[in-house]
Structures are given as structure tokens and as C-alpha cells.
Amino acid sequence: MQRECVFCSRDERLDHLMIEICELSVSTLYLYKEQSYFGRCVVALNDHQRELFHLPEETRAKLMEDIVRVAAAIEKAFLPDKINYAMYGDTMPHIHFHVVPKYKDGENWGNAFDFNPNRTYFQDEQYQAMIEKLIKYLELP
Ligand SMILES: [Zn+2]
């Protein structure tokens, strides 16, 4: 736990960017508020770790299973043509993956997604409807 880390503190800096959906095996799933890529989510490791190679093999495998599970739910919920995965973290060095649905007739098809286009935001009810759909397809116990 690092107090200055937004993923550890889970404070208003994180709330500004994303909405917590649920805990998974070793990570937490968030809906990204900027929705230029409809269904975009973030999967953040629960422990404060900077690099995948710093993780024990078992944790790394569980994290990958969490990501795969989220991607499968996104596919069922939003029917994208492809899902992109990205791990950056220069300024937020706590392992987290952007899980980004892409659509053939949508933005940046065939290219890298824009990290923060800062133009597509929804009302709370629409975020809630998306979250309910994701939860349904995550098949949580
Ligand atoms: Zn952290």
C-alpha cells in the first residue's frame, strides 16, 4: 500500500477516472468513465506492484485469468470486433491493464487507441446499466 498511489488509496483521484465494479481473484475491475471505446475497463492488481516480472508466478497467472474473464464478459456484453490490452503506468506505477473494446466502424480501428480522448462521458444510469451487464457476464459466484 502506497499512500500516494491512486490505485492503493482508491480516493477521489481514482473516482474521477473510473467506477469500481467488483473484486476479482487478485485484482479489481473498474469501468473507465471516458467511453470513446464503448465498454472500456481497467483491471488493477490489488497489491502495489510495479512490474509483471516482480510478481510471483501464481499471482501473475491469476491476474491473467482475471483479465481474460473481463475480456470475455466485455465481448458478450458489448460485441466489439476486437479487444485491445495495454499496460503503461509511467505516472501510475501500480500494475493495471486497460481492456479496450474496438469496433470496425469505431474510433482508431486498426491503430492504437487514444489513451484519454476526453470527449465521451455518460450519465450515471448508463454507466450503471453497463456495469450490470458486465456483472451478469462475469458470472460472479
Ligand atoms: Zn498502488
Question: How many angstroms is it from 106 CA to the middle of ligand 1?
Answer: 32
The C-alpha atoms of residue 136 and residue 56 are separated, in whole angstroms, by 30
pLDDT in tens, the chain (141 residues): 787 999 999 999 999 999 999 999 999 999 999 999 999 999 999 999 999 999 999 999 999 999 999 999 999 999 999 999 999 999 999 999 999 999 999 999 999 999 989 999 999 999 999 999 999 999 876
Closest CA to 39 of 79, 69, 88, 12: 79
Buried b (16+ CB within 10 A) or exposed e, 11-43: eeebeeebbebeebebbbbbbbebbbbbbbbbb
What pLDDT is recorded for position 3?
77
Question: How many angstroms is it from 122 CA to the middle of ligand 1?
Answer: 27
Domains, in order of start, for the chain: 6-138 (3.30.428.10)
